Amino acid sequence: MLQLTKKYIQLGLVALLPLASCDSYLDVNDDPNRAKAVSSDALLSPIIVATAEGHYSLAIYTSMFAQQLAAYPSGFQQADQHIDVRANTAFNTLYLNSLNNADVLVKQAAAEGSSHYVGIGKVLQALNLGLLSDTWGAVPFSQAFQGPLELTPAYDSQEQIYTTIQRLLDEALVELQKPTSTVRPGGDDLIYGGKISSWIKAANSLKARYAIHLVEKDGVAAANNALTYLANGISSNLEDMQVVYNDKNLNPWNRNIAIGTTTGNFITAPSSTLINLMNGITYPGLVDPRLPFLADKGTSTANYAGLRNGLGTGGNTNITANTWYAKPNSPLLMVTFSEMKFIEAEARFIANGGTRTSVGSTPEAYAAYLAGINAHMDKLGVANKSEYLNNPQVAVGAENLTLSLIMKEKLIALYLNPEAWVDVRRYDYASAIYPGMALPANHNPALNGQFIRRVLYPESEGARNAEEVAKVTKGLAEKMFWDL
Amino acid sequence: MKKIYFLLILLCILCRMEDLAAQDQKVSGRVLSAADGTPVIGASVVVKGTTNGTNTDVDGNYTLSIPSPNATLVISFIGYTTQEVAVNGRTSLNISLKADVQALQEVVVTAFGREQEKRTLGYSVQEVGAAQIAQTQNPNVVNSLQGRVAGVQVLGSGGTPGAGSRIQIRGINSLSPGANNQPLFVIDGIAISNETIAGNQLPSAGSNAVNSAEQFAFTNRAADINPEDVESMTVLKGAAATALYGLRAANGAIIITTKKGRAGATTVTLSSNFGIDNINKTPEVQTRYREGLSGRLRTTSTGAPNRFQTFGPPVAGDDVVYDNFKDFFQTGTRFDNNVSISGGNEKATFHTSLSHYNQEGIVPNSDWARTTVKLGGNVNFSEKFAVNGTVSYSQSGGNKAASGDKGIMSALNYHTTTFDVNDYLNPDGTMKVYSPGVIDNPRYLAENSTLKDDVNRVIGNVGFNYDFKPWLRFNYKIGADVYSDNRNRLVPGPIFQGAPTLDIAAGTGGFLVEERVNYREITSNAFLTAEHSFTEDINASLMIGNSVEGQYSDILNTRGERFTVPLFYHLSNTANVFTSNAISDRRLIGAFFDAKVDYKNYLFLNVTGRNDWTSTLPKKNRSFFYPSVSTSFVFSEPLALSDNRIFNFGKVRASWAKVGKDTQPYRVGTYFGAANGFPFGNRNGFVVSTTLGDPELRPEKTTSIEFGSELHFLASRLIIDATYYRSNSKDQIIPVPTSVTSGITNYTTNAGEIQNTGVELLITGTPVRTSNFNWDVVLNWSTNESEVKSITPAVPEIIFQDDRIMNKLVVGGSAGDLYGRVYQRDAQGRLLIGANGFPTLTPATALVKVGNALPDWQGGITNTITWKGLSLSALLEIRQGGDVYDVSMRNRIRNGIDIRTENRYQQIIFNGVNAAGEPNTIPVILEEGFYRNSGGFNDAADVLLQDASWVRLRNAQLAYTLPTSLTGRTPFKSVRFSLTGTNLFLLTPFEGFDPETPTYGSGSNALGYTGYGIPAVRSYTFGLNVTL
């Protein structure tokens, strides 16, 4: 009865309306500012750029842990002291900007039969997932990206994620090798310009990367796996997986760090650990010609000096637009030929029975080691490579090759790449491998002298997905599953 | 339209001429107060039905020519009941005026501009009249409500000319950080926009803080209104008062009635005001140390001075120390000129005005000007049919001072005391700054980093009334509010090749933002009103109506970066161009009824209902109905108390109301938007939206109850009006923050409830009332408490703002709660001292509640003393509680400017205990790192957050009206001089600039932050007001 009365009142009131049709008057809630559907090429470019930005927002932390960088006191100094590290921006960028759109792309491309987009999408999924898992450990994927259907996705274990990465890459290879694709990528592919053969190499390179991560766990088998994948991997600097920025879309290291150093906003600068590996201090007499490409000491006439980790003082170098990495139009390197050569060197060294303390390996391992340095120098455009490459402390010969030499060179070549921290952790921050590597000053007392091994989940994630996060939360010094 | 008004004016002039011709007989006499026989000065004596009239002199005498011996005189004066007396051939006529027990018949404006007797209302309304608005001497009408209305909080906007003001009635009703918590503004029955559009003025790269979206104190659009045009502003506070307005008035409503012409002599009013503004309050600076670091002057490796911080050597003999906080600000000036003409006859009335306001700010190169023209009128075509209309045009804008991160206040608070901030220019025109590449000179910033806005706005309405029968009336009104805002944001690039730029241009080589805001709002209202008397004692009325509204806005933002040719600032001269376009279309249809019945004019019952159809909710949920019931009982009437000397009037009122609320457009549906930072090179790109709306979205519901009473004592010389209310807003439409791993970061759905309870008190008293001397006191007091009853099981908190001090809501918490890190203390409250001898902070991850940004209570006391033509009025505003984080103070501490850092390099032992509970004995030296490094002193809420309680003389005015004996022989009807002061004194425990200067603009819900906005001012205004 009440309902009926209400209805009559409503009807009576409507009768007063001077409008002929109130429905059409009100039907204006379709957003004119956004599209209802977009093509695959429109989706791909932002995923690629987000993947590159994800690398930056991770590396701003991980490069400090790998002691390529150190924080200024006005920067993320607590993180540099291994205190309460969360890297929220990176987590959000990788999930919301990269993986979320990659998920849409893969599904949409599969539905329309654009197998090449499916393949590229899966390679990017694997890369982003690798970044996430190597930073946080267990992360959601199998239940992620369902929107309101699953607002609190469960976390996949890191082991599961590693299986997923290899599966995604295998599936990607199948899709990329299909001869037809309804829509084919072109200029929207900001990495390879639609060159599918390069994507196939990139997929294999990633398979190699995530295989070598398991070398501590699986030993020689992992090394051999990596070598198998490498055979079809990136084979020149021209095939590097990178995003080239431009004068309008500034490289994030330029935009966020280099510009800051010109306006008094000092955030981060090269670490003394890295600089000392290159400036003749740790290796007396060995001065790396790549130094000015990595670090800018401005008008200083003193020797190159880096910031002490955890202290933020003692340096004279910065990441500026004069370095190779932080010009407005610098490329942002994600997976490179030099990384592949160092993976090869390490894999061959281990496959040959090498250990952390053993000396000497095969000529192939030695060649890969030198090729890695050479590739990185070529990449930077170093004019006089030979002096360094022929220095007896570098050109030690196959019989004197050590894992330390390989890994220290890889640390330099992976400057500002989150992958560097994976290596450093695999080798336990050992100063025997990375000479000069030591705990940062004012190190987090709660860690009792243990180095950081993982990053904590963002507070927002802890709050919004509390139950699932609680199941997988681990401490900062607890190791990754591939780390023994 | 214009022709009609022209005719109107002609008509009025003709009427006057007739009047003049007819005057031949005279009547004179005295007007006395019935109560004590004292003369009533300045009472109006008019021949009924004409514009022929005069005013009584200081002795109450009048003399008037009358057209015929049978004329009727109408005698009126404020505070007295108007009387009509037939002359009946007499030539001498003394009149005794009875004091108007005013509030008993007081008429107030309610929803849809309906004038109703206050006694009939079952809810609280409060009005601010033209006199109070004029006393405020502020170009922004919103500010004239400051401190005057119980339950209304107006947060002024500081010293940028044209800066916006934030207004909030009875607390925050919404859990959503993006929701609008401000009331609906209605002018002459038609809703207008009071939005503050912040836009986007940031470059694509630069060294701005991430959350520095608010760069300028943008104007709230009600500031386009000329305050002199306003007759009254009525504040409808609770849901019962606003229920008829529907969802847009869910946060209350401000009903503005503009001045209308009155039948009678044409009146010309000229007013001219001139004012000066000065910085109100500045922080104390340390004067013992120079610039430098580690107690010494520094140089770079090349020998150049390396300055910035002020942790250098002690100030020696001839070193000069500057108080840049005082020196930087100049004396601002304000000119305000206004002309209005009004008049009419019984057929037609009109009111027209022209005004120009021009202000130069206390920050160099900041200004704002407003020109308004208004014309309004009413024509009665017949007994039954009348047409009315108003149109006003305003043009406003100026140059806004850059605030926010990388703004003026940020740079000024970092600036060392040993260099003069005003020495800012090199001979080649580049910035002279004591620490190049690290800090901008704030003066150079002010002169060069500019934002100009230019608003053109037309607000107009036309309506008609038709009386079908004496008991049946039809009203219709249609109105439009249309404006454009052209904004031009410029940060120059290098002024010659290789020249340094401002920090904010470092990443882009300079940039130019051209923003075009186009706004249009059209409202149509129709009502049919019927009245009926069932018996002599029972009267009823029923109004049914409908309202159709549409709001459309289109913001086009084009940013050009990297100027090719120096010093030529035009989009065509930029290398990188980014464009975005935001269109919003929102429509609403409402149908409503308002039924009233009263018994013997002392018991009133009012039932309303409204159904809204909104465009912003899903189709199936877009229609919703909500009712209200209110009642008022004037119990003094049946008790026959009206002649009681002690207690002459008493009323109780009660109401219950429900109001629905919709959401913003385009909340539901999956969309793909342009990717951030794209086009990348020449590629465009799209991303799937990361916020999603519930397809089952329902309207929000606010239920409120209100009880109140109005009691008059001592022949209404003391009136106490008290109100209690409680409102519960349920099913809030909140963007619930979700795990980003789900692919979305916000899911907009119905969740959560917030409750606001409060008490409001309004006491009006007249301690002294004699013929020559009057003392009136108006006191208002209000308190509001809010409690978040629920959010949603998935979400423990909603973050409004995170900037070292976090403004967030949790279940059980209150709106405005602030969280931060504090110094750790033991159970006895003793400071815990770490092993290094310094106090320790609580962890960054589990923030502790440290305060609340909203006041515990606030009040205002207005004292008005009049003696003959002289009047003195003062508004004292009191605010108890309300914490703010001074963002700029942190700069001052970190750079060694603040007085708190003067104890540097001293060895002290912190008073506290160590982990074992033993008294701390470790001596430490307060190195600069103590002040500079994060994670310690400058991150402690104990330091950052301050109590911003205040007592301020918001407003004081001394005015003198020339006696009629002087003006009588001149063409002037009245001449009035006034001297007004604003913020003449401020008592507050807060150290720093005036805390009433938010860092975020008037459109923001982030409360509790100050420091990056241009601080508030103290001002003096001289005014002259002449009536012809």
pLDDT higher than threshold 50 for residue A136: yes
In a domain, A455, yes or no: yes
Cα B687 from Cα B673, distance rounded (Å): 6
* CB contact B625 to A (< 8 Å): yes
CB pair distance less than 8 Å for A145 and B935: no
C-alpha closest to that of A320 among A299, A302, A295: A295
Write out pLDDT tens, residues A82-107: 998 999 999 999 999 999 999 999 99
pLDDT higher than threshold 80 for residue A21: no
In a domain, A318, yes or no: no
Classify strands B152-155 and B166-169 as parallel, antiparallel or unpaired: antiparallel
Q: DSSP labels for B826-847?
A: -TT-PBBB-TTSSB-BPPSSS-
pLDDT at B688: 96
Q: How many CB atoms lie within 10 A of CB B15?
A: 22
Average pLDDT for residues A374-379, to the nearest whole number?
98
Tokens 């001139």: give the residue: B274
Write out pLDDT tens, residues A344-354: 999 999 999 99
**Domain region containing A84:** 6-248+330-472
Where residue A147 sits, what CATH number does that domain have?
A: 1.25.40.390
Torsion, CA A368, CA A369, CA A373, CA A375, rounded to 10: 10
**What does residue B1022 show for φ and ψ, rounded to 5 degrees?**
-105, 130
In a domain, A180, yes or no: yes
CB pair distance less than 8 Å for A84 and B845: yes
Cα B128 from Cα B507, distance rounded (Å): 50
Cα B425 from Cα B730, distance rounded (Å): 57
> B252: which 2 tokens?
């209350």
Mutate to test the interface with B, among A23, A51, A100, A242 (most CBs of B within 10 A): A100
C-alpha closest to that of A369 among A337, A345, A334: A345
Q: Which helix (H) or strand (E) holds A405?
A: helix A403-413
Write out pLDDT tens, residues B671-708: 999 998 899 998 999 999 999 999 999 999 999 999 99
Write out pLDDT tens, residues A42-78: 999 999 999 999 999 999 999 999 999 999 988 899 9
- To the nearest whole angstrom, how far is the Cα of B756 from the nearest Cα of chain A? 26
pLDDT at B735: 87
Helix axes A158-176, A115-136, angle to 10 degrees: 160
In residues, how long is chain B?
1028
Q: How far, in Å, are B295, B438, B791, B905 from residue B313 at the CA level? A: 5, 20, 54, 11
**Residues 6 or more apart from A212 whose CB is under 8 A from it?**
A222, A223, A226, A343, A346, A347
pLDDT at B18: 39
Residue type, B760: E
pLDDT higher than threshold 50 for residue A1: no
Write out pLDDT tens, residues B698-748: 999 999 999 999 999 998 899 999 999 999 999 999 888 899 999 999 999
The partner residue sitting opposite A31, judged by closest CB among B671, B685, B845, is: B671
Strands (E), B492-573: 511-533, 538-563
Answer yes or no: are the C-beta atoms of B930 and B311 closer than 8 Å. no
In a domain, A48, yes or no: yes
With 0-12 / 13-18 / 19 or more C-beta atoms within 10 angstroms meaning exposed / middle / buried, residue A301 is exposed
Q: Which helix (H) or strand (E) holds B268?
A: strand B264-279
Average pLDDT for residues A428-457, to the nearest whole number?
96
The count of domains in chain A is: 1
pLDDT at B844: 79
**What does residue B98 show for φ and ψ, rounded to 5 degrees?**
-90, 140
> B709: which 2 tokens?
């009473």
For B:792-821, CB contacts with A below 8 A are: 794-797
Cα B403 from Cα B887, distance rounded (Å): 12
Torsion, CA A52, CA A57, CA A61, CA A64, rounded to 10: 50
CB pair distance less than 8 Å for A263 and B503: yes
CB pair distance less than 8 Å for B583 and A103: no
- To the nearest whole angstrom, how far is the Cα of A450 from the nearest Cα of chain B? 20
Write out pLDDT tens, residues B476-494: 999 999 999 999 999 999 9
pLDDT at A10: 52
In a domain, A90, yes or no: yes
Q: What is the pTM of this model?
A: 0.87
- To the nearest whole angstrom, how far is the Cα of B443 from the nearest Cα of chain A? 17
The partner residue sitting opposite A152, judged by closest CB among B308, B587, B739, is: B739
Cα B214 from Cα B218, distance rounded (Å): 9
pLDDT at B105: 67
* CB contact B438 to A (< 8 Å): yes
- To the nearest whole angstrom, how far is the Cα of B554 from the nearest Cα of chain A? 10
Cα B998 from Cα B980, distance rounded (Å): 25
Cα B1003 from Cα B195, distance rounded (Å): 7
Q: Would the ipTM clear 0.90, i.e. be above it? A: yes
C-alpha closest to that of B137 among B869, B875, B865: B875
In a domain, A466, yes or no: yes
**What does residue A393 show for φ and ψ, rounded to 5 degrees?**
-80, -15
Assess whether the previous peptide bond of B679 is cis (omega < 30° from 0).
yes
> B275: which 2 tokens?
């004012």
The partner residue sitting opposite A151, judged by closest CB among B668, B677, B739, is: B739
Residue type, B505: A
In a domain, A286, yes or no: no
CB pair distance less than 8 Å for A31 and B665: yes
The partner residue sitting opposite A19, judged by closest CB among B507, B548, B583, is: B548
Q: pLDDT under 50 in chain B at which residues?
A: 1-23, 102-103, 209-211
Answer yes or no: are the C-beta atoms of B883 and B946 closer than 8 Å. yes
> B450: which 2 tokens?
């500019």
Cα B25 from Cα B671, distance rounded (Å): 81
Residue type, A123: V
In a domain, A267, yes or no: no
The partner residue sitting opposite B739, judged by closest CB among A19, A42, A461, is: A461
**What does residue A474 show for φ and ψ, rounded to 5 degrees?**
-135, 165
Which of chain A's residues have a Cβ under 8 Å away from the Cβ of B665? Answer: 28-29, 31
Which of chain B's residues have a Cβ under 8 Å away from the Cβ of A260? Answer: 207
Q: How far, in Å, are B187, B260, B1028 from residue B341 at the CA level? A: 20, 10, 9
